Amino acid sequence: MDDIFKNMQKQGKNDVDSLVQWIKDSKIVDGSKELEEKARSLFRGAEDENDISLEKFKEVIEKFAVEQKRNFEEVAQQLEKEGPTVVKAVIAGVSAFKDVMKGK
């Protein structure tokens, strides 16, 4: 999970929206607006919501694990399993954006 987060951070995708999407894609929360808003609320208080630290992300995941009566490692493994898909999507998005900016 840490490596995936760091990769997303390098791509500038460690903002609340991207991390909540990762949490949703990993099925840690279902697609309901209520749980999505709950996830977003756990990030409040971060120094910069566009640059979430790994420590803050782990804190949020720990809170979700407790609420779901699961342990942190189980939730982290679930994130790691889905992570490659998220990272590929981020890289594809960045690549498409660069192509547009180059006028391709």
Give the other-Cβ count within 10 Å of 15's Cβ. Answer: 18
Q: Count of domains in the chain?
A: 1
* pLDDT tens track, the chain, 104 positions: 898 899 889 989 999 999 998 988 888 877 778 888 988 999 998 899 999 999 999 999 999 889 889 999 999 999 988 775 766 676 667 677 777 888 75
- To the nearest 10°, report the CA torsion of 30, 26, 67, 34: -30
Domain that holds residue 37: 2-102
